[in-house]
Structure 1
Amino acid sequence: MGFDHSAATVELAKDITVAKMILMQENQILIDPTAKLQAKKAAEKKQAQAQYQRYHEIKDYFKDNVTLRAGDLYISDTRRQIFLDISMDQEKYEVYKYEELVDFELKQTHVIQHIHEDGATTVVNGIWYTISDSDREISEISEIYLNMTFSGQNTKTRVFLDHTIPADSIDCQHALKKAEKYERVLQHVKDQPRKSPAKITFTVTSGK
């Protein structure tokens, strides 16, 4: 069969089933593992280049025709579609029709921390005074996230806060503003009348 123990042969063997190997033996089919592996890698590279080009064509369209944007979330009223870009929460880009957005929900987890301060003793002008015990509460938020539900029970989550911090802190307020901006963009989509999107196609030309 022309197989040896080279790296090319080992890699090629991963894609050959037992049935296919028997068929090759019966028909005395010889394979050059190195050439076969090079052809496979060339095809994968060409496919990756086409996918990369398509991604940028789609992203460029939404950048040029964006109606509203929040972070990795773009929407276009012209195309009536939602574009979720690649991000920390998103390994690959996705495009949805407005009609595919079923619902969205912004969630916050509030924590009330109770602080008990023991009484303290102090001296003023030679006289001992005791300050009584006291209790106070600190409002904190431990997480802020947004769930976007699309058709087919497909839920995408954006996390804006994943650790506990005071509710009135600058970082918490910043996270809330980011989350609320996503919420406003999605509400705009929900407020649009439901109808078929305009037909806009992307042409992908693979480079040589």
Structure 2
Amino acid sequence: MKLIECKNVSKRFGEGRTEIEALKETNFSVEAGEFVAIIGPSGSGKSTLLTIIGGLQTPTEGKVLIRNNPFSEEEEKKRAALRFKEIGFILQASNLVPFLNVRDQLRLVNKVEKTKMEKEQADSLLEELDVLRLEKSYPSDLSGGERQRVAIARALYHDPSVILADEPTASLDSERAFEVVDILARETKSKQKATIMVTHDERLIDKCDKVYVMKDGTLTLRES
């Protein structure tokens, strides 16, 4: 089942002589349980594609579908609601709230959703990611790898169908980077997510089902 699909998606900035074609016509899909990497040099269009898939930008042409629904064509209010429900973001910086402990990072998700925290669900997820023992710790008390594991827990907590990871290991040493990728691969398979990881580090793509290369705004599938 295709959880995310781009159909003829392109993105241009500016107009006339200053127009820049950041993303050329792109057709791309990711199925449930599929872990995909997008690699390529800085400025090639990787992050532009990811922000369009995540609904943070709209395409100049084409459309993005989530569960076959026209996500990119919805009005902003509905797109924001769908984005929160269907997409989990993991960024290069963990983006944890500095004054909230690990447990409260998840409570914040409940506050936004106006739901109650399911303690058993939260405990299970934190335990799976080996951060339950840190539940009362604050981001400043955690190592880089621990912060990213908490960020992954927060991204998965509301059970999104799509995980978008933009350079999630860039601030980590090699051991912690491989650990984060292992976690993403495991969660993708066990929970049948569609996961897209943008990375510049080709050492991290062994666990991916498919690898795409972005160059000058053009996305191509790399043959294995």
Query: When the two structures are superposed, what TM-score results if normalisation uses the length of structure 1?
Result: 0.23
Bigger RCO of structures 1 and 2 (CA < 8 A, at least 6 apart): 2
Query: When the two structures are superposed, what TM-score results if normalisation uses the length of structure 2?
Result: 0.21
Q: Which has the higher strand share?
A: 1
Q: Which of the two has higher C-alpha Rg?
A: 1
